[in-house]
Structure 1
Amino acid sequence: MTPATVAPVLEDPSPIAGELTALAVGDRRHTEQVEAAVDDDDQIAVRTAPSVADALPELDDVDCFVGAYPPENGTGLLERVTEGTIDLPVVLLVDEGATVGDGVRSHGWLDWVDRAAAIEDGERLRRRIRSLVKRRRLTGLTQRSLAGIELAGDAIAIVAPDGTVQFANRGFAMQFGYGRDDLAGRPWRTLFTDDSVDRLETAAIPTVADGWRWTGSCTGRRKSGKTVPVRVRLGGPENGGLVFVVEPLDAERGAATNDSA
């Protein structure tokens, strides 16, 4: 057993560390309320602008917007975000009696909090800002990590805590005779013989759960039903998932890419 340091892992590397910048967009009443609500949070810096157009030249270091709902005349915030002109998350302060429309509810990077509640308890707004920005950063991190895995020379698959394949790069899919997009959602156990599944469950996975990386020989099962000896390196993130790195044993190296269902 060796420490689990080689297999790529999609973990949360404290992506919210350090200060984040929220841009309050709206009239003076709105921006002052936002500033007051987050005043006690040394993790959030607030800048203000009467409209998105006024802020456009300085968006490089902005992490999210804090807007008003219903939208104030001239801000242009929701239109630009929902149309994809600006790709930043938005937290809305919703005025009393206002109903958040379906277009806002369906947007993945829009969240909201009642204005009166945010004024009374600023932590509500601060929590929404931190949560949305953290989720956005994690999404970006995951996308970059998956892109790196796709380009890696190793055959790699990431398995979710429920035991299904969350992502497999092209090399991994080819090892088992599948197309690149055919493995998502498939239980990892279907890729190995019963004996190998038993070995992985009784020896490998407990080793990974203890914080180590496991390496050993197994028998894979391709989509065609043909079995193939492989070497497996198994690691895992702290969320209970698994990372498989699989390579054929020397006698099978040429066959892996030629075997199709």
Structure 2
Amino acid sequence: MTDDPFRVLCVDDEPGLAALVGTYLERGCGLDCETAVETDANAALDRIRAEAFDCVVADYDMPARTGVQLLSAARETRPELPFLLFSGTGPDEIAAEMVRVGVTDYVGKRGGSEAYTALVRRVEHAVDADRNAGDDGGFDGDGTEAGVDREAISFDGVCTVAPDGTFEYVGREYGDLYGYDPDDLVGERWQRLHPAEEVEHIRTDVLPAVMESDRWTGRSIGLRADGSTFPESKMVSTTSDGRLLISVSERGGSGVTADD
């Protein structure tokens, strides 16, 4: 891992907010940080292609192109560049887009200074993980949040869970993975999609880890509507308003019945 300062490009069409993000990162990061600011997404894309950045933090709703569209274009030349969305647009509205293009992380703008504190922490994690992995950024598939397992972050489905533990948004692919119509899961509790022993593991190990570090990645067991179970890769992260953003994919291998 290098000790050189890391460079972050902050992109927001509101100049004051872009500058504020840069200020928080430079003052709050435990790592040595330098920031650059752009208010135009097209200009930001030109800089990503021409300059060396270790991370990009972008708004979602911008005039020239959305943050997701910016990432999609940037991936053509910088496929492994850590890219975080810092947005006022709710995660349930753009969750499917984020998973499709491989957004590294999401932090909601709502929440005042706490939102900026969360952003600093997640930028530190994204850059540190990227450097520890030898510039092959990503998340580990063994639940330790260190190193890289590209298979583990090729997620198929996404959902959001409200603070009361019920599904708020369920993507089509997420519902299909468990054998449900997405509308049938909205309002149901997350425990419905896991066998009893896995529910206990999530309660005692996964959720506390998410609350402590804002994100958990690893493996769990899913329960389908027909009663069969399957191994899954999962990423669970929090938003500033207390929701959970969950991305999941099947790890391979045939399912077995819950009684096996």
TM-score range normalised by the length of the shorter chain = 0.3 to 0.5
Q: Which has the larger radius of gyration?
A: 1
TM-score (norm 1): 0.41
TM-score (norm 2): 0.41
Higher RCO (CA < 8 A, seq sep 6+)? 1
